[in-house]
Amino acid sequence: MSKPLILITNDDGIVAPGIKALIEVASTFGEVVVVAPDSPQSGQGHAITLEHPLKLNKVDPFNGIEAYECSGTPVDCVKLAKNVILKGREIDLCLSGINHGANSSINVIYSGTMSAAMEASIEGIDSIGFSLLDYSFDADFTEAKKIVKNLVQKMLEKKLPDCKLLNVNIPPGKDIQGMKVCRQGNGNWVEDFQEGLDPRGQKYYWLTGKFVNFDKGDDTDIWALENGYVSIVPTGHDLTVHNSIENLKYLEK
């Protein structure tokens, strides 16, 4: 069997420390190709660039690992990887991250990290988005790398049943209790905007907020992380609320 081909991307940008952790682990399993944004793209969700063209440059920040920086969003990176850089080749696995900060609960919706991995999964590629709950630039990825190794090995050995994408969040610190396969917890941001005046005296608004957990369940990603476990959420892209279809038939009249 030939070496597996592993695509790596992120949303914090190609020079963010987290992506190096993924590359280090993945390159022990197969051929790695990196396509990542040339600037931070946090909160870009599933944005794609339609209004203007994209630039793509071959770069070499990872000791000879094939790597490209792209002027677009994380999802653009995956589309360019599949349709241009790796055109005609089968990608065995896509890894996105390691994101600096949580992508559990509702954050999955806003996350460029998860949207990049989701884009690969829409294309039928087994994918994992990894996040470490530590925002600092010098976050310690030692424990996270063990989790990445564990899951990459399992994903390469056996395709996931009925699912193509995992949302994996890793608690900070060294005292990890284990891994929990769980559901996306029901939480949301209570938001506010920092208001101020720019240098020309014009008012601006800058998003800020606080995450609030509305979910009492012990089967959620929020619960897992609060209790020291790695959370693994099987994640899809069918947004239909299936059990509402029958109840909404009155709208047809």
Residues 95-154 close enough to bind a second copy by CB under 8 A: 106, 108-110, 115, 118, 122-123, 151, 154
124 — phi, psi (to 5°)? 85, 10
Nearest to 6 by CA among 115, 148, 133, 215: 148
- Using CB under 8 A, which of 58, 174, 210, 249 touches a second copy? 249
- Using CB under 8 A, which of 5, 49, 66, 149 touches a second copy? 49
Token pair for residue 92?
């065995």
Query: Does residue 53 belong to the site contacting a second copy (CB under 8 A)?
Result: yes
Burial class (CB in 10 A: 0-12, 13-18, 19+), 226: middle
CA distance 84 to 187: 38
Q: Which is nearer to a second copy, 172 or 185 (CB)?
A: 185
Q: Which of residues 203-222 bind a second copy (CB under 8 A)?
A: 203-207, 219
CA distance 16 to 224: 26
Q: How far is the CB of 218 from a second copy (least distance, A)?
A: 13
Nearest to 14 by CA among 80, 58, 52, 44: 58
Token pair for residue 122?
């829409």
Token pair for residue 182?
């769980």
- In the beta sheet, which residues pair with residue 33? 7, 66
Half-sphere exposure of 45 (CA within 13 A, CB side): 6
Query: Does residue 1 belong to the site contacting a second copy (CB under 8 A)?
Result: no
Q: How far is the CB of 168 from a second copy (least distance, A)?
A: 9
Instruction: Confirm if 39 and 74 have CB atoms less than 8 A apart.
Output: no
Q: Which is nearer to a second copy, 2 or 199 (CB)?
A: 199
Q: Which of residues 174-193 bind a second copy (CB under 8 A)?
A: 178-184, 186, 188, 191-193
x/- mask, a second copy, residues 9-48, rule CB under 8 A, reads: -------------------------------x-xxxxxxx
Instruction: Confirm if 167 and 102 have CB atoms less than 8 A apart.
Output: no
Query: Does residue 76 belong to the site contacting a second copy (CB under 8 A)?
Result: yes
Q: Which is nearer to a second copy, 2 or 157 (CB)?
A: 157
Q: Which is nearer to a second copy, 2 or 210 (CB)?
A: 210
Stretch that binds a second copy, among 59-67, 91-99, 134-142, 160-168 (CB under 8 A): 160-168
- Using CB under 8 A, which of 2, 51, 174, 210 touches a second copy? 51
